[in-house]
A and B are shown apart, each in its own frame.
Chain A
Amino acid sequence: MAENILVVGGGPAGLNAATMLSELGVNVALVERDSFIGGNPKKFKYKFLFPDMQPADNVIGELIKKTESGGNIKVYYSSEVSDFKENGKKFDATIKSAEGSETKTFDSVIVATGFEHFDPARDAKYSYQLFDDVIDIKDLERMMGENNFVRPSNGQPPKNVAFILCVGSRDRHVGNQYCSRVCCTVSVKQAIELREHFPDCEVYIFYMDIRTYGFFEDLYWQAMEEHDVQIVKGRIAEITSGPDNTVVCKGEDTLLRGPFEIPFDMVVLASGMEGGSQSPEISKKLGIELDEHGFLKPENITLSPFKSNKAGIFLAGACTGPKAISDSITEGAAAAMNAYTYAVKNR
Chain B
Amino acid sequence: MALKKQEQRPVAEKGEHIIARHLIEDDSIKEEKNLVIDGVDVSGRWNTFILSRVDSEFDRSFFREVKDTVVGSRINRCWQCGMCTASCTVTPLYRRFNPRAFIYMMQLGNLKELKKYIDVAWRCVGCYKCSQRCPKQVNPAEMMEALGLVIKKYFPEEVQSKLKVDEDVKKIYDDMILGHGRLDLAKLHTSAMQKTGRTKELLGKIERDAIFKMAKDGRAFSILRLGKPHNWNSSKEAMGNYLKNLNTIENSEA
Contacts and interface: CB of A to CB of B under 8 A. Distances in A.
Contacts of A261: 54-56
A2 interface: no
B104 A224 contact: no
A258 B113 contact: yes
A232 B105 CA distance: 11
A237 to B, nearest CB: 13
Contacts of A260: 54-56
Contacts of A255: 80, 100-101, 104
Contacts of B54: 258-261
Contact of B55 (A230, A231, A262): A262
A117 interface: no
Contacts of A160: 58
Interface in A16-61: none
B94 to A, nearest CB: 18
Contact of B77 (A204, A225, A232): A225
B79 A224 contact: yes
Interface string B12-56: 000000000000000000000000000000000000000001111
A224 B113 contact: no
A193 interface: no
B222 interface: no
B97 interface: no
Interface string B90-108: 0000000000110011011
Interface in A213-238: 221, 224-225, 228, 230-233
A232 B101 CA distance: 12
B89 interface: no
A221 B77 CA distance: 8
A25 to B, nearest CB: 52
Q: For chain A, what secondary structure do more than half of its interface residues adopt (helix, strand, loop), or is it mixed? A: strand
Contacts of B108: 230, 232, 253
A12 B78 CA distance: 37
B51 to A, nearest CB: 13
Contacts, number: 54
Contact of A233 (B56, B67, B80, B113): B80
A14 to B, nearest CB: 38
A196 to B, nearest CB: 16
Contacts of A221: 136
A79 B250 CA distance: 82
A202 interface: yes
Contact of A230 (B57, B58, B105): B58
B79 A230 contact: no
Contacts of B245: none
Given A224-B77, A259-B53, A230 B101 contact: no
A256 B54 CA distance: 12
Given A224-B76, A224-B79, A230-B107, A258 B53 contact: yes
Interface in A123-160: 160
Contacts of A228: 63, 67, 76
Interface of B: 53-58, 60, 63, 67, 76-77, 79-80, 100-101, 104-105, 107-108, 110, 113, 136
Given A210-B79, A233-B80, A261-B55, 14 more contacts: A202-B58, A204-B58, A224-B76, A225-B76, A231-B80, A253-B55, A255-B80, A255-B100, A256-B104, A256-B113, A258-B55, A258-B113, A261-B54, A261-B56
20 contacts: A160-B58, A202-B58, A202-B60, A224-B76, A224-B77, A225-B76, A225-B77, A230-B60, A230-B63, A231-B80, A253-B55, A255-B101, A255-B104, A256-B101, A258-B55, A261-B55, A261-B56, A262-B56, A262-B58, A263-B56
